[in-house]
Amino acid sequence: MARIKSAVKNIRKSRKRRDINRARRSALRSQIKKLRRLLDKKNGAEAKKALPAALSTIDRAVSKGVLHRNAAARHKSRLSRHVAALHKAS
């Protein structure tokens, strides 16, 4: 266990930051799962409505440092492509 004040404070800060990042990552994954579930059900209209919320969550995760920007771009591209294909088919 750390004894120096600054080290104790850094441990406290990193634990708090870890909890915040965990919550953000969980929200991100939940939003993506929600959209993928709609895509699996072939529900094009609902998926098109849920897409902006998912993209917004992805962008927020990038700005907060939870997700790498290239990974975010990949997620956004794939989700958008699937939604567009499903919307076009229906």
Neighbours of 28 (CB within 10 A): 21
Cβ neighbours for 80, distance < 8 A, ≥ 6 positions apart: 51, 55
Mean pLDDT (the chain) is 95
Cβ count near 35 (within 10 Å)? 23
Q: Is 25 exposed, middle or buried (0-12, 13-18, 19+ CB in 10 A)?
A: middle
Residue 11 CB-half CA count within 13 A: 8
Task: List, for residues 44-70, the tens digit of each pLDDT value.
Answer: 899 999 999 999 999 999 999 999 999
Residue 90 has pLDDT above 80, yes or no: no
Q: Which residue has the higher pLDDT, 33 or 88?
A: 33
Structural domains of the chain sorted by starting position, each given as residue range(s) with its CATH number in brackets:
11-89 (1.20.58.110)
pTM: 0.87
